[in-house]
Chain A
Amino acid sequence: MTALGVNRLCKSFGGLRVTANVNLDIAAGERRLIIGPNGAGKTTLFNLITGELTPDSGSITLFDHDITKTPSRRRPHLGMARTYQIITLFPRDSILRNVTLGLLGLSDLRWSPFHDLARQQHLVDDAHEALKRVGLTHIAERPLAQTSYGERRRVEIAMALAQKPKVLLLDEPFAGLSIDERRDVKELLLTIPRDVTMVMIEHNMDVALDFADRITLLHFGEVIVEGTRAEVVDDPRTREVYLGH
């Protein structure tokens, strides 16, 4: 079954074509790596998939349901979660509150002006559970502003995981991490069960290649190579535009 389908997707900013007839067919449970040089249109593709940008043409399906016109805010309710290349969290709040906000986004309780959020034990417990998965339980109450870059990356992932997504989009989750932090995040990603389909943009090939079942190479908004790890790495076009000789 196709978890995430992208069909002849196009997007231009003025005269600049950033996504050109992109097709993706990502199976349920698959780990897909999207690679490409800077400016290839990888993050734009994520923004189109999540609805932050509206495509000029083409369609997007989530488990065979057309979501092209579904508002961005509705897509998390359908099982899609994402992380950002540039960390996008709530710096005035604690780590726990950040993850709780992630959970609250899918709860009808978010409209309530009467309940006490801190006393919603089921949300707090679920947030702790998500933090446990990323190894941050011991600093759950720490203000986000007092955490390291690597910890924030993990909070990003915890927020996404807390929403129990069916499709998880990770935009450069290893960016800016130290070797140890990279190892920790990689181990964390490998523990995510196969009922979550994962699509990852990453430049760090050392860690990313181990992760991927299949790889898509984007260049100037076009898919130029797609296949298994071996197929993509061996393809001369990959060496030409991305890996180098």
Chain B
Amino acid sequence: MTRSSARWLALAVALLALATLPFWMIGDYYTNIASQILYWAIFALGLNVLVGYAGLVSLGHAALFAMAGYTAGLVLEAGHGHILAIVLGLTASVATSAVFAVLALRSTGIGFLMITLALGQIVWGIAYRWADLTHGDNGVVLHGYPRPFGLGIDTPTGFYYLTFLFFLLALASMTIFVRSPFGASLRGTRDQARRMTALGYNVWLIRFFAFLISGLWAGIAGLLFVYYNQFISPQIVALQTSAEVLLMVISGGTATLLGPIAGAAIVVIMKNVVSAYVERWNLVLGVIFVAIISFMPEGLVPGSIRLWKMGWRALLTRKKALPNTGAPPS
């Protein structure tokens, strides 16, 4: 079997497992955990466009995630329908991304990180303090779900399939994006911005569009989050959310397609499953992150591939080194 066909087979098995998950997973609780992993993975994939492919580390993405959720919640609260809520939610998220991008792209590196952090905190401040609009700490409560194409998503299985559909869309679009000319241009701006300008690229505009794409997927994940929880509060806009999703991307492996998904799975499982058995689950999560950064600085997915290749090579070398006496084993 060639490496390429093995990769396709692994992908097919993984997708089949995810597509049939509600049928073999024990209980709704774990189906819900899977839904959470998938929408956090969508969020992490979106952030990875900036962190991995543009080399721009954002600590304000929770604001873009929450902007969609808050807008949808408030539109529904005002008595409008789900379609308007979703459209306005995504519009708000992309528009906020545009404002963030215009302000933050004046800088790169630590400057970009600090500006996104500050902008994220401003949105958190609005969510927390502008109580007339956002209800402050009480948050916004949703009542009910949309019924896309007449299908119910108010059950764990129904919601899982909705999330799975968007996860597939995110994964497919990222796969196409990475191979596209725009994806190559974006990576070029990460590696040699000066050279890219000298080659005729508009580096600022490429980064701006990347920010919008990233914000769009953050918004989609934010909508899934708010429909899943039927609630959103300033807690989700806080720095901790931005840091958590950034950790998902970095620990899984930046500039990879599977890395952010693996990172999302680790964090969600630690928070929801391991915390039921280990009181100090935060400590365990911290140890896992330290171990990943120490032994696989490139992230869990590319690091595991590297270790696998090293092990395989060592095994082959050992096999070759064994003397062949021709005598049958005793």
Contacts and interface: CB of A to CB of B under 8 A. Distances in A.
B33 interface: no
Contacts of B200: 73-77, 105-106, 163
B306 interface: no
A41 interface: no
Contact of B201 (A50, A110, A112): A110
B184 A97 contact: yes
Contacts of A74: 200
Contacts of A106: 199-200
Interface stretch (A84-92, A199-207, A227-235): A84-92
A84 B180 contact: no
A52 B194 contact: yes
A104 B195 contact: no
Contact of B181 (A73, A75, A91, A117): A117
Contacts of A93: 187, 191
B192 interface: yes
Interface residues of A, number: 38
B180 A112 contact: yes
A112 B188 CA distance: 15
Chain B interface SS verdict (over half) = helix
Given A52-B198, A76-B199, A106-B200, A116 B180 contact: yes
A90 B199 contact: no
A73 B193 CA distance: 11
A67 to B, nearest CB: 14
Interface string A40-54: 000000000010100
A102 B180 contact: no
B180 A117 contact: yes
Contacts of B188: 90, 101
A69 interface: no
Interface in B171-187: 176-177, 179-185, 187
A118 B183 CA distance: 12
A138 interface: no
B197 interface: yes
B201 A89 contact: no
A243 B307 CA distance: 56
Nearest to A111: B182
B180 A88 contact: no
A173 B180 CA distance: 32
A113 interface: yes
B203 interface: yes
Q: Tell which of A73, A74, A109, A112 has the most Cβ of chain B within 10 Å.
A: A73
B282 interface: no
B46 to A, nearest CB: 14
B309 to A, nearest CB: 16
Contact of A104 (B177, B185, B197): B185
A159 interface: yes
Given A90-B192, A91-B191, A117 B179 contact: yes
Contact of B199 (A52, A102, A111): A102
A72 interface: yes
B181 A110 contact: yes
Interface in A94-147: 97, 100-102, 104-107, 109-118, 120
A118 B184 CA distance: 10
A101 B176 contact: no
B272 interface: no
A11 interface: no
Given A93-B191, A117-B181, 4 more contacts: A73-B201, A90-B187, A111-B181, A159-B199
What 10 A-B pairs come out closest when comparing CB atoms? A105-B199, A76-B200, A105-B200, A113-B182, A88-B195, A113-B180, A109-B181, A117-B181, A90-B191, A73-B197
29 contacts: A52-B194, A72-B198, A73-B201, A75-B200, A76-B200, A88-B192, A88-B195, A90-B187, A90-B188, A90-B192, A101-B196, A101-B199, A104-B181, A105-B196, A105-B200, A105-B201, A109-B181, A110-B181, A110-B201, A111-B209, A112-B180, A113-B176, A113-B180, A113-B183, A115-B180, A116-B180, A117-B179, A159-B199, A163-B200
